[in-house]
């Protein structure tokens, strides 16, 4: 039960979904004072899973945690061995993130099930709500680790993989959570009759707001490469090393950043290129930087456009390193192909949005990565986008309205009804 503005919300609705996301944006559901940071397998992650499990049980579900640390709630179908429709998104958040990225999709899944449970409605399929633990790469340098496990496409994870804070390994973090890194792959649902995966998510962009629309339907998810680039030069005294003799790693990184921006601006198919992280060593005002580690994120609506842009950026980076006398190491950290959503499910979601909003559903390509692109290896997928204010995401200013969220809930409910008729 949720209290808001002096009234009780004891039924599924958009306002309750927003209130629940907001509740989970603060301690003990965040590891960060004055903001939201919920990394995988952290104390705040444990607390959040506990609260979500309470709401799942209130909605008529049984709950469990799988071998990868994902939270799963199950609402049985008409038969115990019924096929499964999965609803969900991710639980983890970036540092100083917003309350709705990922979490709104989990909460809307719970609210959808709660609606049918209140009606006593069962389907020829079970409804399961899944909260993925590690979509963001919030703790370890491997995003979507846990959806890879569920989809049955997780390579042998490195037990010694260190978290970003270098305080734990993947093995020790799982062990502290009562899990075993050697069993992560047993979270796979490959042998289960999963017939669809549905993910509701804030748009994380301004298109819906610009069109004055509450909801949109995702047609495809953009291809993505993410690299970790290390440049090594020579540290030296800022006052005594002549400019022409310097091997300044940070100056080289600046050239690469500008090259990435230039190539990204010149591209098509929604191409974007971003350097989002920069670590400078030794990081002193009076020392020429001797080493820099930067990330390069390249995305586009097609694999071919992404591949050409990434190759061009890395070639320019190689030339920069050679020209400046720097050593360069490049590690590919994420490789995600463009993922089209299932056409039949997309059509059903379009109809659901039309039925709720009384207008044709905008079709959008998602520039952000989502667990849905991994789950497409397991089952047909569909995504529903919800308008967010200013298109702002990964930011404390992230915001949705009660009305838009209520429209999203009604679209999810309508979609399940349409799917039932198609399934039968």
Neighbouring C-beta atoms of residue 193, cutoff 10 Å: 12
Q: Is 226 exposed, middle or buried (0-12, 13-18, 19+ CB in 10 A)?
A: buried
pLDDT at 6 over 50: no
Q: How far is CA 206 from CA 360, 367, 387, in A?
A: 18, 12, 8
The yes-or-no verdict on residue 203 having pLDDT over 50 is yes
CA distances from 144 to 159, 260, 375 (A): 16, 25, 10
- Tens digits of per-residue pLDDT, 254-273? 999 999 999 999 998 889 99
Are the beta carbons of 3 and 93 closer than 8 angstroms? no
How confident is residue 7, by pLDDT bands cut at 50, 70 and 90? Answer: very low
pLDDT, mean over the chain: 94
Largest CA distance in the chain: 78
pLDDT above 60: residue 369:
yes
Per the model's pLDDT, the better-predicted residue between 120 and 2 turns out to be: 120
Residue 5 has a pLDDT of 44
First-to-last C-alpha distance (Å) of the chain? 34
**Residue 240 carries which DSSP code?**
T
Q: Running DSSP on this structure, what letter comes out for residue 161?
A: P
Average pLDDT of the residues in 301-309: 93
Closest CA to 196 of 31, 348, 393: 348
Comparing 22 with 10, which gets the higher pLDDT? 22
Q: Answer yes or no: are the C-beta atoms of 152 and 379 closer than 8 Å.
A: no
User: CATH second-level architecture of 223-336?
Assistant: 2-Layer Sandwich (3.30)
pLDDT at 270: 83
Rounded Cα gap, residues 311 and 313, in angstroms: 6
Question: What region, left, alpha or beta, does residue 77 occupy, with left being phi > 0 and alpha being psi -120 to 50 degrees?
Answer: beta
**pLDDT, mean of residues 35-48:** 96
For residue 141, what pLDDT is reported? 83
Q: How far apart are CA 178 and CA 69, in angstroms?
A: 9
| Bridge partners, 278 (sequence order) | 294
Banded pLDDT at 423 (limits 50, 70, 90):
confident
Burial class (CB in 10 A: 0-12, 13-18, 19+), 23: middle
- pLDDT tens, residue by residue, 150-180: 999 998 889 999 998 888 999 999 999 999 9
Rounded mean pLDDT, 169-198? 96
pLDDT at 2: 53
Residue 210: predicted pLDDT: 95
Give me the percent of the chain exceeding a pLDDT of 70.
Answer: 98
Domain ranges of the chain: 2-222+338-423, 223-336
Pairing of strands 287-288, 236-237: antiparallel
Q: Enter the pTM of the model.
A: 0.83
| CATH topology assigned to domain 2-222+338-423 | Aminopeptidase (3.40.630)
Q: Which two tokens stand for residue 139?
A: 């703790």
Average pLDDT over residues 6-35: 89
- Other beta carbons within 10 Å of 325: 13
Kindly indicate the confidence band of residue 138, based on its pLDDT and cuts at 50, 70 and 90. Answer: confident
């Amino acid at each position: 039960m949720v209290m808001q503005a002096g009234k009780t919300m004891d039924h599924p609705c958009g306002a309750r979904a927003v209130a629940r996301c907001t509740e989970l944006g603060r301690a003990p559901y965040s590891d960060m004072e004055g903001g939201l940071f919920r990394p995988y397998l952290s104390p705040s992650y444990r607390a959040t899973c506990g609260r979500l499990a309470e709401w799942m049980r209130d909605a008529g579900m049984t709950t469990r945690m799988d071998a990868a640390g994902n939270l799963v709630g199950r609402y049985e179908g008409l038969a115990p061995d019924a096929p499964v429709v999965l609803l969900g998104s991710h639980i983890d958040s970036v540092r100083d993130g917003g309350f709705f990225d990922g979490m709104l999709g989990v909460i809307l899944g719970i609210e959808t099930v709660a609606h049918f449970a209140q009606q006593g409605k069962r389907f020829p399929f079970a409804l399961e709500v899944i909260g993925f633990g590690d979509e963001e790469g919030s703790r370890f340098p491997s995003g979507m680790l846990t959806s890879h496990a569920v989809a049955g496409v997780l390579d042998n994870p490195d037990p010694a993989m260190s978290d970003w804070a270098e305080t734990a390994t993947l093995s020790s973090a799982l062990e502290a959570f009562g899990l075993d890194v050697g069993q992560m792959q047993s979270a796979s649902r490959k042998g289960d009759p999963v017939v669809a995966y549905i993910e509701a998510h804030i748009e994380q962009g301004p298109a819906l707001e610009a069109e004055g629309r509450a909801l949109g339907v995702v047609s495809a998810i953009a291809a993505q490469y993410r690299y970790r680039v290390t440049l090594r030069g020579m540290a030296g005294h800022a006052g005594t090393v002549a400019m022409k003799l310097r091997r300044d790693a940070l100056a080289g990184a600046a050239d690469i950043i500008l090259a990435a921006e230039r190539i990204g601006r010149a591209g098509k198919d929604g191409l974007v290129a971003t350097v989002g992280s920069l670590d400078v060593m030794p990081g002193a005002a009076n020392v020429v930087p001797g080493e820099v580690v930067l990330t390069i994120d390249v995305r586009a609506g097609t694999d071919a456009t992404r591949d050409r842009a990434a190759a061009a950026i890395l070639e320019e980076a190689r030339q920069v390193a050679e020209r400046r006398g720097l050593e360069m190491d490049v590690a590919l950290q994420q490789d995600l192909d463009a993922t089209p959503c299932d056409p039949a499910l997309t059509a059903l979601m379009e109809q659901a949005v039309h039925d709720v909003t009384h207008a044709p559903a905008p079709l959008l390509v998602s520039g952000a990565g989502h667990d849905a692109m991994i789950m497409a290896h397991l089952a047909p997928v569909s995504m529903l986008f919800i308008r967010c204010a200013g298109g702002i995401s990964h930011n404390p200013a992230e915001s949705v309205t009660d009305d838009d969220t209520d429209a999203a809930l009604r679209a999810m409910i309508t979609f399940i009804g349409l799917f039932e008729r198609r399934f039968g």
